Amino acid sequence: MIRAGREAADDARAAQLLNKALGTYRNTKTHQRLTDALVSRPGARARIYDEELLTLLVPPLLERRRPTAAEAEAVAHARRTVSEAADHDQDLLDAEEAWHAMPPDDRPTLHPPTSLRASATRRSACRTEMPSSPARSFW
């Protein structure tokens, strides 16, 4: 969930802050060192980071050093601020979070009914050929 009033960043922005190409960022699995900045749920398709937390975590990574005590405390404070924020109407949810937030009777189905999938398969499998007719010359 992206909290209201917070800026979000994706892998492209994280790679840009680290002065890396997006492919290099993903291939070297640099995102594993930025888990404190993650706001997307585990297993989400796209990784979404809190921009403020990301900018706090980047300098030690760029300089290839461990964060100082002050930097670690700043990250911990920012993380508490994000996690302790109350729910707000303007919070942004991903598709699965939104689905779970809906009342069960109003939720759309996640998959089409089996009958639709079966009928589509049957229609494509049962194509009929055009009836053959003797060749006629119209000229």
**What is the longest distance spanned by two Cα atoms in the chain?**
94
The terminus-to-terminus CA distance of the chain in angstroms comes to 72
In a domain, 116, yes or no: no
In a domain, 121, yes or no: no
In a domain, 114, yes or no: no
∠ Cα 3 7 12 (to 5°): 120
Please name the residues in contact with 14: beta carbons below 8 A apart, sequence gap of 6 or more.
25, 30, 31, 34, 37, 47, 49, 54, 58
Angle between helices 51-62 and 69-84 (to 10 degrees): 160
In a domain, 113, yes or no: no
Q: What is the pLDDT, as a whole number, of residue 134? A: 59
- Note if the pTM is more than 0.75: no
At 49, the amino acid letter reads Y
Backbone angles phi, psi at 92, to 5 degrees: -100, 130
In a domain, 126, yes or no: no
List the pLDDT tens digit at each of the 139 positions of the chain.
Answer: 677 777 888 899 999 999 999 999 889 988 888 888 888 877 777 888 888 888 888 888 877 778 888 888 887 877 777 766 767 777 777 677 777 778 888 777 766 556 555 555 555 555 555 555 555 555 5
In a domain, 32, yes or no: yes
In a domain, 111, yes or no: no
- As for how many domains the chain has, the answer is 1
Domain of residue 87, residue span: 8-105
Q: What is the pLDDT, as a whole number, of residue 58? A: 85
In a domain, 134, yes or no: no
Q: What is the pLDDT, as a whole number, of residue 118? A: 53
Q: What is the pLDDT, as a whole number, of residue 126? A: 52
